[in-house]
Structure 1
Amino acid sequence: MEKGRVPSLLLLMAVALASCLSPAICHNITAILNNFPDYTVQNNYMSSTKIADEVNSRQTLTCLVLPNAVMSALAANHNPPSLKKALQLLVLLDYFDPQKLHDIDGGTTITTTLFQTTGEAIGEQGFVNITNLRGGRVAFGSAIPGSKLTSDYTKSVRQIPYNISILEISDPIIFPGLIDDGAASDRNLTAILETAGCKIFASLISSSGMIKIFQAAMVTGLTLFAPNDEAFKAKGVPDPNSLSSADLVTLLQYHAIASYIPKDSLKTAHHPIATMASGAAGNYEITVSVQGDDVTIHTGVDSSRIARTVLDETPVCVLTMESVLLPEELFGKAPAPAPAEANVTPIPQGATPVSAPAPTPKLAKVPTPAPAFISPPESPVTAPATESPVTAPASESPDEAADKEDDKSLALVVKVSSSFVGLAAAVAVLW
């Protein structure tokens, strides 16, 4: 190694070591919370909403965490946009450890949160009030005038002075209107579908009330298969307006999975996948096949190729479909191919169809052919002109009469054939 390169390498190693020791670069909120099972729900939501990335990009802050049961209740009452705001309100852009909480000057302080930096906060929505009350109690609440202190400091979880502090609180910090802003989110999903050419599907989920179900599922995970408008106009697709309300809801639920499964993940699905319609009423499952980059969904009644990915933001994925997915439980199995037509001899008019095979005709005894040296007859043998058709005696059944007539006809044919055989043999000898 060249001597001149040694100092350069040492310098690079020193820079790398300094970078790893730098709190601004190396702290990882997800890794820290992984060590505390009581906060796994919040940890997952912080990762899925990308708030964890924002926390890791800042050098000094305090992260307020909620126990799993409290966080689950918060998620159940919020749609994705409002839940993200509630989580951003729990990230204070200042360092507070237990000692600093109890030493707040004047007993009250207003601090900035991550929500304030988004530009979406109105008035004082992005600020939090921290008040040191009597008896050592420290309470948190929205800084909007008139708001109540709804949450208490519970305990310290972890500190890396003076970089990041993690404190547990009893309840989320909510400002007026935060929970009730779901209507805008509903319109967003509808707008996404309409822009993607799925106006009919968007209208159906809105009119049926399924928009609320899908919106709630978007908090924890939702994959939506949205048929485009042309799919509803295809031959054989039932008119949605002709379905009962219950069947329409089931059909719409069949187009959704209550978890996040993007297109690439669907490619590795080798087993039937349950949909939101799956339950006691039936399996309502789908299966997947892959050819190259094409992914096709099969229902047992029809199949549809995924046209494109409209939205793929964890934990929500919206895919457009070329066909409406028709569940077997509602519309039956796919029709079997028609059997090949057999060559059936038509039954003469007035005849009685015979179900059993016809009896084998009785064969007359075949006369022994004439010797080869017998001279051929002068003219072909024909049936006597005076011979009249044989009719069955009155006492005979129609079947017996028919059998006798067949015997005579066959004997005549054999007789004529024998004559020709003898003639051919004679000609062969003379030749």
Structure 2
Amino acid sequence: MKLLFPTFPLLLLFISSTTAQSPAASPAPPGPTNVTAILEKAGQFTTFIRLLQNTKVADQINTQLNNSNQGGLTIFAPTDSSFSNLKPGMLNSFSDQQKVELIQFHVLPTVFSPSQFQTASNPLRTQAGGSQGSFPLNVTTSGNQVNITTGVTNATVANTIYTDSQLAVYQVDQVLLPLSFFTTPAPAPAPSKPKKAARSADSQSGSDDTPADSSGAIFLSKKTVHITAFVMLVLATFP
């Protein structure tokens, strides 16, 4: 029993030393990127968030951002006041498909830093469609200011909300309206009239009852009358 007491402090020292040398627990990995959570934290984007969720575009964006095989994204986020500046009833007049296209028009399939807008090639490609045609999106820069034109809207990038290697979110002061929503498609050309059927051989040559050349027939008839009258005159002169 006397031998146990001196060894007990040594045992406690060993345990304390082992515990101190064990590595500290690594911090919990960050959660998946959630674009609506980013916008909610920034505030003043209630309408844009609602449209992202109702159109399911938010799910597509989050899936792409959290898939390592997919590229990054740039999002232009209009504020609530930007939507308030639209004509009354305009947003509700858009069809469900147009609302999807409207939100996709605010998303670029590439990460752009503010300085990269200075060398961007216009028109930019958006998730609403190709760079040409109905969804043109052009950017110009003046110093540090980035301006956006769509053919309908002239907007300015007002602030950087969020940026990392996969996502850049910028506040814009106007809703970006696609040109295709306000252009009337050209009417389809009228069908060409069918060509008249070729005349039949009988109609070209004339019927059995009608001579092919009535003027010629009349001329021959008159000539026959003249010859007959001349012969009768000669016979009357010489009995």
TM-score bin (small chain): 0.5 to 0.7
The one-letter code sitting in structure 1 at the alignment partner of 2:175 is V
SS at match of 2:169: strand
Where does structure 2 lack aligned partners over 5 or more consecutive residues?
1-24, 185-239
SS at match of 2:119: coil
Residue deviations 1:45-85, cap 9 Å, x none?
xxxxxxxxxxxxxxxxxxxxxxxxxxxxxxxxxxxxxxxxx
Aligned to 1:117: 26
Q: Could you tell me how far apart the structure 1 residues matched to 2:174 and 2:131 are?
A: 26
Q: Does 1:192 align with 2:62?
A: no
Residue deviations 1:179-237, cap 9 Å, x none?
xxxxx747x42122123321110111011111111112324211000100000010437
Aligned to 1:249: 100
Aligned to 1:284: 135
Where does structure 1 lack aligned partners over 5 or more consecutive residues?
1-115, 122-183, 334-431
What TM-score do the two structures reach when normalised by structure 1?
0.33
The one-letter code sitting in structure 2 at the alignment partner of 1:307 is A
**Structure 1 pair 235–241 and aligned structure 2 pair: CA distance change class (3 A):** closer
Following superposition, the deviation at residue 315 of structure 1 comes to 1.3
Following superposition, the deviation at residue 241 of structure 1 comes to 2.7
The one-letter code sitting in structure 2 at the alignment partner of 1:189 is V
Aligned to 1:337: none
- 2:144 is aligned, of 288, 293, 296, to 293
Q: Percent identity?
A: 30
Aligned to 1:236: 87
Higher relative contact order (CA 8 A, sep 6+): 2
**Structure 1 pair 259–204 and aligned structure 2 pair: CA distance change class (3 A):** same
Aligned to 1:211: 58
Following superposition, the deviation at residue 238 of structure 1 comes to 5.5
What TM-score do the two structures reach when normalised by structure 2?
0.59
**Structure 1 pair 302–198 and aligned structure 2 pair: CA distance change class (3 A):** same
Q: Does 1:303 align with 2:149?
A: no
Q: Could you tell me how far apart the structure 1 residues matched to 2:171 and 2:78 are?
A: 6
Residue deviations 1:72-122, cap 9 Å, x none?
xxxxxxxxxxxxxxxxxxxxxxxxxxxxxxxxxxxxxxxxxxxx723349x
Q: Could you tell me how far apart the structure 2 residues matched to 1:271 and 1:297 are?
A: 11
RMSD over equivalenced CA pairs, Å: 2.5
The one-letter code sitting in structure 2 at the alignment partner of 1:118 is P
Following superposition, the deviation at residue 281 of structure 1 comes to 9.9
Q: Could you tell me how far apart the structure 1 residues matched to 2:90 and 2:41 are?
A: 23
**Structure 1 pair 262–119 and aligned structure 2 pair: CA distance change class (3 A):** same
Cα pair 2:159 2:172 within 8 Å, conserved:
yes
Residue deviations 1:366-411, cap 9 Å, x none?
xxxxxxxxxxxxxxxxxxxxxxxxxxxxxxxxxxxxxxxxxxxxxx
Following superposition, the deviation at residue 330 of structure 1 comes to 1.4
Residue deviations 1:306-344, cap 9 Å, x none?
0111111011100111000011111239xxxxxxxxxxx
SS at match of 1:319: strand
Deviates more, 1:297-306 or 1:259-268: 259-268
The one-letter code sitting in structure 1 at the alignment partner of 2:171 is T
Map residues 225-374 of structure 1 onto 2, 5 A cutoff.
Answer: 225-236=76-87, 239-279=90-130, 282-332=133-183
Cα pair 1:237 1:324 within 8 Å, conserved:
no
SS at match of 2:52: helix
The one-letter code sitting in structure 1 at the alignment partner of 2:35 is L
